[in-house]
Amino acid sequence: MFLDKIDKKILNIIQTNGRITNADLAKQINMSPPPTLERVKKLEKNGVIKKYVALLDPAAVGIGTYTFVEITLARHGSDVVAKFIEAIKGIDEVMECHHITGDADFLLKIAVGNISAYEKLLLNKLTNLPQIRHLKTMVVLSTMKDETSFKIGGGNNEN
């Protein structure tokens, strides 16, 4: 889907305020509400806008520890990879799973209450997956930047 300047403005606005009213969005992009709503619906229909979510304060819901885990598989056939991915999708604490290049095959981002909860996850779930040959855990000590949106522009600081 081709994104014009107005589509990009809409995307930049709703990434930071997904609850904005159509009327307020229309004002910010200098359009009337009906064509603004039509554009948003088109962006949703074409999968540019995947979903709307609420971002929670991790500490307020008991999340105090993040880890990044490099996973190296024992074998690399498509069936092994598919079984691994299916297993990972079933582990609620895994927030992200990326197939990567380099020494490891996958990179997981895991969110748990504390280091003891991670140890339990490691011993009871991750190390029980037969597809895994090796894993390496990195514990997040602190986070300096944690963005949920990205700048949508045309290349020349265009909104």
Q: DSSP string of 59-119?
A: GGGT--EEEEEEEEES---HHHHHHHHHHHHT-TTEEEEEE--SS-SEEEEEEESSHHHHH
Residues 71 and 128 in one domain: yes
Query: Among residues 24, 92, 17, 21, which one has the least CA distance to residue 52?
Result: 17
pLDDT in tens, 20-79: 999 999 999 999 999 999 999 999 999 999 999 999 999 999 999 999 999 999 999 999
Residue at token pair 């159509």 = 22
Say if pTM beats, i.e. exceeds, 0.85: yes
d(CA 8, CA 55): 22
CATH of the domain at 104: 3.30.70.920
Whether 50 maps to a domain, the answer reads no
The encoded tokens of residue 127 equal 């190390």
H-run or E-run covering 5: helix 5-16
Helix axes 33-45, 5-16, angle to 10 degrees: 80
The predicted structure's pLDDT at residue 159: 43
The encoded tokens of residue 118 equal 């991670």
Residues 39 and 86 in one domain: no
Report the phi/psi class of residue 83: left, alpha or beta, with left for phi > 0 and alpha for psi in -120 to 50.
Answer: alpha
Query: What are the residues facing 138 on neighbouring strands?
Result: 68
The predicted structure's pLDDT at residue 158: 47
With cut-offs at 50, 70 and 90, classify the pLDDT of residue 154.
low
Q: Domain range holding 9?
A: 5-45
Residues 131 and 67 in one domain: yes
